[in-house]
Amino acid sequence: MTNVARPASFDPQYCPGSRSRGKSLNKASSGGSLVCVGIGITLGAHISPLARSHIEQADVIFMGVSDGVVELWLKGMNKDARSLQPYYQEGKSRVETYQEMVAAMLAEVRAGKRVCGVFYGHPGVFAWAPHKAIEVARSEGYPAHMEPGISSADCLYADLGIDPGSHGCQYFATSQFMIYRRQIDPSAWLILWQVGLAGDNTNRRVATGPAYRQVLVDVLARHYPLKHEVILYQAATLPIQSPHIRRLALAALPGADIKALDTLVVPPASELQVDADVLKRLDALDRNEVDG
């Protein structure tokens, strides 16, 4: 649920139904409110007690989740559960889709209902609609906030045994990484989300092919050798599943079988470089503290 190319192009003034109206309305007394929660990645295993409480107590929930099984599970918690999936249509701009999601949630908030947007993973990670819906609701005077959830990044750390503090981590949407000149550090981990959409600049495709991934490889080859091992990763969405972890050479990426939710993980390719001048200054400060 992410606009990977130009997220800055979104403007709440152009979201259908997002304009503030009824300025004289006492929003606090109208009862309308919005909370967006995350239910994590693995069904039933990652949801927090607070997120569950918001889902159960809402007048209506809107579901932006990974599959129909998760929707059925959520419908058992709230009788008025509405899927956001129908807003996606083949060939339809995701920009329009996300705007319609925001409009749907805000319409119920304005009607005085307690609304809960339920999203897989973390509702604020690679998800434009929850952020925008909260922003618009607040601008119109309604209580609105976000509750965090376990994201695929959290699963990735656990499944691949990565400590982001050891070398540092860089995160980019794959297409954004390709289209814009980003400054990256090959001595840190590089995480590229939505590699299955590599190079999409239309916001209409559901996948791109090997030729697009070859462009990605060419961009990465500016910083990494073609023989460098990379990882295709996808977290488990059901408790009975195992995560998908495939290791391959960077050069082999165009021909790989890429899944829709795959993340590309590029391990560090060089050693951390010490800044001798900074280290000298810090050593001097340490000596001064000891002497003082």
Q: What is the 3-state secondary structure (H, E, C) of 123-187?
A: CCCCCHHHHHHHHHHHHCCCCEEEECCCCHHHHHHHHHCCCHHHHCEEEEEHHHHHHCCCCCCCC
Please indicate, yes or no, whether residues 254 and 170 belong to a single structural domain of this protein.
yes
Residue 29: the pLDDT is 54
Q: Which of 7, 180, 19 is nearest to 95 (CA)?
A: 7
- Note the pTM of the prediction, 2 decimals: 0.83
Structural tokens at position 49: 């007690």
CATH number at residue 69: 3.40.1010.10
**Strands lying side by side in the sheet with 81-83:** 81-83, 60-64, 114-119, 33-38, 144-147
Indicate whether 11 and 138 sit together in one domain.
Answer: yes
Q: Same domain, yes or no, for 46 and 180?
A: no
**Residues 15 and 136 grouped into a single domain:** yes
Q: Are residues 196 and 141 in the same domain?
A: no
> Which segments in the chain show pLDDT lower than 70?
1-30, 292
Of 87, 98, 224, 233, which one is the catalytic site residue?
A: 98
The pLDDT value given to residue 14: 33
Tokens of 263: 């993340």
Residues above pLDDT 90, as percent of the chain: 78
Do 24 and 98 fall within a single domain?
yes
Give catalytic status of residue 94 as yes or no: yes
What pLDDT was estimated at residue 259?
85
In this prediction, residue 22 carries a pLDDT of 37
Question: Which residue in the list 87, 110, 120, 224 is annotated as catalytic?
Answer: 120
DSSP state of 196: G
Within a domain: 274: no
Q: Active-site residue 120, yes or no?
A: yes
Number of domains, the chain: 2
CATH number at residue 243: 3.30.950.10
Task: Answer whether residue 44 is part of any domain.
Answer: yes
Boundary residue ending a domain (98, 117, 150): 150
Catalytic one of 94, 110, 114, 213: 94
Q: Residue 31: its pLDDT value, please? A: 87
Range(s) of the domain holding residue 132? 7-150
